[in-house]
């Protein structure tokens, strides 16, 4: 059929409109280059810390270093105490720790996961500078915040009652994490994530090693109140010799704890040696990926249980370095299967 001048004009206008619309729409984002591709083919032990001062001693001791950048984070491959490693910062708190641990597992051939860092001491038998190696970890702030039905009395919703019966701390009622079993795909509720028995057996051999009693920081004590939490201070020495203690439980959650009553509750309810903000999150990721895991945590403060102010500013570096020393000894002693 012959096109009339009106039809031709409408067709031209429609084509122009289509071209204009296409030009105004953003181009589809190209997929990230080599998404999911392994960045290194060698089997490696992942060595993780939450922030720089926990990791720097281990980085200094690493040979043949090579940095890889992923999502803004640096993953350093090399050898440490004769073992192939990939070192990185998890970032502080649970989501960061889970996210970056999974990223490392996706992009490197990780055979084992090791965490090194500081923690708040919960067990009264532990002292600042001691290194705790718990046999299991729980996310103790996975919880329901219950309704206050009468002054000082808190009641769970009906469908939450009678499930786990963990003691509450005021409105906070802790409960297991709900997740998929990697073997069966079934939905399970899990409170404790166990550390690898073989790794614990190696750590057990290190309980007699000597640890530092004095730190060598640089900021004078009179500047303490104005300095950030990770600032260094004048030399601080402990009255006791720190030790390595393997055993007991550890807990993690997305809160910095500096409260004596909550510290006591955590010890009585969970039997916790230490508390931190990352280890249980990494334990859950390692469990889901079936990768052996162990965490070393040196006590930097007493989570509100000490006299005076919180001790972390004074002993952060001492605790970080003690944990790093034990991790180096652990890697040196670790026997890996021959490939």
pLDDT at 217: 52
pLDDT tens-place string over residues 120-166: 999 999 999 999 999 999 999 999 999 999 999 999 999 999 887 79
* CATH number (domain holding residue 85): 3.40.50.1580
pLDDT at 107: 97
Q: Taking a C-beta distance cutoff of 8 angstroms, is the pair 259, 236 a contact?
A: no
% residues pLDDT > 90 (the chain)? 79
The reply to whether 195 falls in a domain is yes
What is the spatial distance between Cα 162 and Cα 174, in angstroms, rounded to a whole number? 13
pLDDT at 18: 42
Q: Taking a C-beta distance cutoff of 8 angstroms, is the pair 174, 142 a contact?
A: yes
pLDDT at 10: 38
Quote the pTM value.
Answer: 0.85
pLDDT at 27: 41
228: which 2 tokens? 């950030």
Sequence-ordered alpha helix ranges (H) in 48-112: 52-61, 94-107
Domains of the chain: total: 1
User: Radius of gyration of the chain from Cα atoms?
Assistant: 26
What domain range is 53 assigned to? 43-136+188-333
Q: At 269, is the secondary structure helix, strand, or coil? A: helix
**pLDDT, block means (10 residues), the chain with 339 residues:** 45 44 39 66 97 97 97 97 98 98 98 98 98 98 96 94 89 96 95 98 97 72 47 74 98 98 98 98 98 98 94 94 98 90
The reply to whether 36 falls in a domain is no
The reply to whether 148 falls in a domain is no
The reply to whether 157 falls in a domain is no
The reply to whether 300 falls in a domain is yes
The reply to whether 308 falls in a domain is yes
Query: Parallel, antiparallel, or unpaired for β 244-246 and 131-133?
Result: parallel
The reply to whether 212 falls in a domain is yes
Q: Taking a C-beta distance cutoff of 8 angstroms, is the pair 176, 189 a contact?
A: yes
The reply to whether 176 falls in a domain is no
Q: At 113, is the secondary structure helix, strand, or coil? A: strand
Helical pair 94-107 and 279-289, crossing angle rounded to 10 deg: 30
């Amino acid at each position: 059929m012959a096109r009339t001048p009106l039809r031709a004009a409408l067709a031209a206008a429609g084509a122009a409109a289509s071209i204009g619309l296409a030009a105004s729409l953003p181009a589809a984002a190209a997929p990230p280059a080599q998404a999911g591709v392994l960045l290194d083919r060698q089997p490696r032990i992942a060595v993780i810390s939450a922030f720089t001062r926990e990791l720097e001693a281990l980085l200094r001791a690493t040979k043949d270093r090579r940095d890889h950048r992923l999502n803004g984070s640096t993953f350093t491959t090399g050898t440490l105490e004769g073992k192939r490693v990939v070192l990185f910062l998890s970032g502080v708190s649970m989501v960061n720790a889970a996210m970056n641990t999974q990223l490392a597992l996706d992009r490197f051939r990780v055979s084992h996961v090791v965490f090194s860092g500081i923690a708040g001491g919960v067990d009264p038998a532990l002292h600042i500078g001691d290194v705790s190696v718990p046999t299991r970890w729980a996310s103790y702030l996975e919880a329901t915040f219950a309704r206050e039905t009468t002054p000082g009395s808190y009641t769970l919703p009906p469908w939450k009652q009678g499930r786990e019966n963990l003691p509450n701390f005021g409105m906070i009622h802790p409960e297991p994490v709900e997740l998929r079993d990697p073997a069966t795909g079934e939905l399970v509720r899990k409170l404790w994530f166990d550390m690898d028995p073989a790794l614990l057996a190696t750590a057990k051999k290190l309980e007699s090693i000597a640890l530092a009693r004095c730190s060598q920081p640089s900021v004078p004590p009179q500047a303490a109140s104005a300095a950030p939490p990770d600032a260094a201070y004048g030399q601080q020495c402990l009255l006791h010799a720190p030790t390595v203690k393997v055993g007991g439980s550890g807990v993690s959650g997305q809160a910095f704890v500096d409260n004596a009553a909550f510290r006591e509750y955590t010890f009585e309810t969970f039997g916790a040696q230490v508390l931190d903000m990352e280890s249980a999150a990494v334990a859950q990721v390692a469990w889901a990926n079936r990768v052996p895991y162990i965490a070393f945590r040196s006590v930097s403060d007493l989570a509100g249980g000490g006299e005076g102010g919180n001790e972390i500013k004074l002993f952060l570096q001492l605790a970080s370095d003690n944990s790093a020393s034990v991790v180096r000894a652990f890697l040196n002693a670790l026997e890996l299967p021959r490939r």
